[in-house]
Chain A
Amino acid sequence: MGSSIAVRFDRGTLCVEGAQAALDALRVHVDLKWDPRTLGYRAPAYEAAAIVDARTVGPPPWPEEDVPATAWRAPELRPYQNDALTAWRAFAGRGVIVLPTGAGKTRVALAALHAVRAPSLVLCPTRALLEQWRRELEVYFSGRIGVVGDGQMSFGDVTIMTYESAYRRMDTVGDRFRMLVVDEVHNFGGGGRSECLEMCTAPFRLGLTATAPEVGSAALGRLDRLVGPVVCDIGLGDLLGTHLSDLTIVRLPVELSAEEAEAYHREYAPFAQLRGELVKSAPGADWQALVQALSKSAAGRDALQGFRRAVEIASLPAAKRARARNLLAQHRDDTSLVFTASTDDAYTVAQENLIPVITAETTRRERDRVLSGFREGTLRCLVSARVLNEGFDVPEARIAILLGGALGAREQLQRIGRVLRKAPDKHAVVYELFTRGTVDDRRAQARRRQLATRCAALR
C-alpha cells in the first residue's frame, strides 16, 4: 500500500486524503466512503487505528504525547486480574474483560491505564459513577483528572464522562484520547447511543462488564467491532468463596391481601384475555409485537394500562413492605441495599422506613452526602430502583433485599454482585421477595432459570 494517506478528525468522523490507489487499498478493510457533501473521503472515527496502521503521513488523529510515568502508581492485582490484563494486552489493547461484580474490574482498568499511560477517557453509565471513578483514580493517579457530566466540564490527562455527555460531545472531543475505557460496556450491545464509541479515535479500547452478551449474538458482534473481542471471561462461580464473599440467597414468597388480589385480577383480566386471543391468532408473537398489536385499539390500550397497574400492585404489596420492614429491623446493624422494581416503589420504601433513596432525580450534592454517610457508617441502608444496579461500589454492604425487578436476569446478577465484595469473615445474604401467583412471581422464576445457567450457586 502507498504511504500517502493523511487523516484528520472532523466532527466525529475522519477526513481521509491521499492517492487514489492508496485509498482504494484502504477501502478493502476500512469503512471508507466518498462524501459528496464535502467532496472528500470519510471514515468513522473508530476506524482510526486501522487507517493509521495502514501507514499514513502526518500526525495520527489522537494525541501522541504520553502522560508522565511519575503520575501513575501501579495498582496491585490479584492473579485473575493480572491474567485479564495480560489477555487484553495480547489483543493489542483492544477488547472486553468480563468479571463478576465485586471482582475488581475497575482495578484492572486502572492497571491498563497505567500500562498505556496515554491521555484517556473513561465512560460510565451514570452520574453516580463519575465520582466513584474519580475517587479510584485519585488513589493511583496524581495527574489531572477531568470530569464531564453531572454539571461538571473539565478535561484532564484522564477524563471521566457519562454516556449521555459522550453522546452529546464526542463529535467535538473524540480525537483527544488515545485510550478509551468503557465501564458496563454491555449497554452498547443493543446499538443505542453507540455514537459515543463510533465518534472517538482512541486506538486502545477496554470494555468492562459482568454480563457479556450471548456468544454469537448481534450485540457481541457490535462490541467486537467498536471495542474489541471478549479477551477474558471469568464467571461468578469461579470466584465465590475465594475472591468474592460467600453467598446465601433466601427466597421469600408473599401473598396479596384480599383487596389487593381483587384489584390485581380486575386490572389483569382484560390484558390476559386479549393476550390469549392474540396468541391464538399469532402463535410465537413476542412481547413487543403484543404491545404493538394491543396499542392499536382503545380496548387494547386500556388493557395495557390495566396490566401496568397490576404489575405495580404485585411489585410492592403490603406484605412485601411489611417483610422489608422486618428484614431491615433484623439487619439494623448491617449495611444493606434495597432494590425495587420502580422509582415510585423506592420512594415508598424510603418514606416508610426513613432510609435514604438514590434515584435519577437525586441531586449530585445529596447523592454525595448520602454515599459518604453510607461509607462512614452514619447511614446503614440505601434504597434504589436502578441507579445502584451497575458499578456502584459499596465495600461494606452485606445484605441485599430485592423487592422487585423489571429488567431480568442481567439486572438481578448486577444487584447480587453489589454485596459480593470480599471482606474478612463476610458472608453476603440476598433476600429475594416475590408475590406468589402474580406476574411478579413469574418474572422471579424466569430470572432464576436464566441465572442458574450462568452460575450454579444462584439456583
Chain B
Amino acid sequence: MLPAALLCVDASASAARPKYLRAMDEVWVARALSEYRDREGMRRGDFDEAWSRKVEPMLLAAGARRRAADGLKYLLDRSAQDRIASAVAPEALRAEVFPLAATGLARDQVLANVAAQFGIRAEDVEAALFADLPRAREVVVPAALDAATWMERYNLGLVQGLLLRSSLVTVDLQDLARSVVRYAKLRGLLALFQPTEGGVRMALSGPLSLFRNTLKYGHALAQFLPAVCVSAGYHLEARCSLAEREMTVVVTRGDPLPRVHALPKEVDSAVEKALLRDLRRMKTRWTVARETVALRAGAHLFFPDFTLTSGSRRVFVEVVGFYTQEYLRRKLAAVAAAGMGNLVLCVSDALDVEGDVPGAAACMRYRRRVDAAALIEMVEQVATADA
C-alpha cells in the first residue's frame, strides 16, 4: 500500500478518482525498472541518492508524474530484500567495540583489537559497524521486473493506500455479495445493506465509526479491496481523509486493477467451519453449499450461512452467534413478516434467547458447536413441512 504522501488523485470533479498508471505510462515504468535493475548491489543510501539526482529527473522528462515515480520506487523498495554486506555480523562487532571504547582505549586501538579478535582488518570493522542499517545494505532487485506487473501492483497499492485513509466505504456489488460480506465481517467491519437494481449496496465501517471519523479500520478496509475486485460488477466509494481534506474517492469495475485475486478461503467462523466439516462428513442426501444468494426479507437483506439442497427442496441455515438480542429481535421480525418457512436458525446459548425464535421455521441451540446430525434432522422436518 502506498503511504499518504505518495497518493495521487484527480480531485477536479465532485468525486475524486485515483490517478492510475495506464498504457501511456508503460514506457517510463519500463525505464524505471531497467534503471533499478542496473543499480543492483549499490548501497541503499547511495542508490537513493543516485535515484533522486539522476533517475527521477529522467523519468519526469519521460512523462512520469513525480508522485507516481516515487510511488513505484516505494513499492519496488518494499519488495527488495536488501542484504548486509559484511563478513561479520555488525551487531557482534558493536557488542565488542563499544565496551572496549568505554575503557578509554584510543579509537584506532579499539578497532585494531576487535579486528584481530574477528580475524578481519581494522578498516573492515569500521565499515561494518553499522552495515545492517537499511541505508547501508546492498540493494537486491526484486523478481518479476516487468512493467505490466508493476503497473498493476502500483494501481492496487494506490487504491489500498487511499482506503487505508478511509473511514467509510460504500460498495455496490452485482454478485458474490455474501462472500464479500463475510470477508468484511471477519475483518471486524460492520455492514449496512440495501437492495439495489440487480445487486446489493453495502456500507462498511467499524464499530467506532459511529462516533467519529476514524482511520482505525483503514487497514481492514484496504485489505478488503481485492475481494471486491473479484466481482463481475462493482462501484466503490470511499470517504477518505487526505492531506487534511475530506474527499470521496470512486473506484469502479472499469478501473485498471488486477483481478487475479481469489476470494480468501478462510472466511468462516470457527463454529461455521466445524459445522461445514461435520455436514460434509455425514452421509446425507442433502448437498451443502456455502455460496447463496442474498434473501430479501421486507426492506432487509440477509445472507444465510448455508444452503442445503435435496432435489427441488431447499433449506437455509443461519448460525447466529454474535449479535445483540435487539438485533436478533428486529431481524427475526423481518424474517417473520417475509414468511420464510424454510429457514433454520442455530442460536448460540450465549445470546440467552428464551423459547422459540419467532419467524424461523425452526430453531436449535448450540453451545460451542452445532450438532450436525440434529441439524439435518431439523432440516428434514422443515423441508417436509414446507413441502
Chain A positions near chain B (C-beta within 8 angstroms): 8, 10-13, 15, 17, 31, 33, 35-42, 44, 167, 171, 195, 198-199, 292, 298, 301, 332, 347, 350-351, 353-356, 361, 363, 365-366, 369-370, 373, 378-381
Contact = CB atoms under 8 A, between A and B. Distances in A.
Contacts of B203: 37
Given A38-B327, A350-B130, 19 more contacts: A12-B208, A17-B324, A17-B325, A17-B326, A31-B211, A33-B210, A35-B210, A37-B191, A37-B192, A37-B205, A39-B324, A39-B326, A39-B327, A171-B216, A301-B66, A354-B110, A355-B101, A366-B94, A380-B102
A354 B107 contact: yes
A44 B208 contact: yes
Secondary structure at the A interface, as helix, strand, loop or mixed, is mixed
B213 to A, nearest CB: 11
B28 to A, nearest CB: 17
B339 interface: no
9 contacts: A11-B188, A13-B210, A36-B192, A38-B190, A44-B208, A44-B211, A171-B216, A354-B107, A365-B91
Nearest to B215: A195
Contacts of B133: 347, 361
Contacts of A381: 102
B94 A356 contact: yes
Given A11-B206, A12-B208, A199-B208, A167 B216 contact: yes
Contacts of B323: 38
B331 A39 contact: yes
B91 A33 contact: no
Contacts of B134: 361
Contact of A379 (B98, B214, B243, B327): B98
Given A13-B210, A356-B94, A366-B94, A379 B102 contact: yes
Interface residues of B, number: 38
Instruction: Name the residue in A35, A167, A171 with the highest tally of chain B Cβ atoms < 10 Å from its Cβ.
Output: A35
A355 B98 contact: yes
A39 B330 contact: yes
Which of the listed residues A39, A353, A380 has the most CB atoms from chain B within 10 Å of its own CB? A39
B217 to A, nearest CB: 9
Interface string B185-207: 00010111000000000010111
B210 A42 contact: yes
A420 to B, nearest CB: 23
A366 B91 contact: yes
A41 B205 CA distance: 16
A298 B56 CA distance: 13
Interface string B224-240: 00000000000000000
Nearest to A365: B91
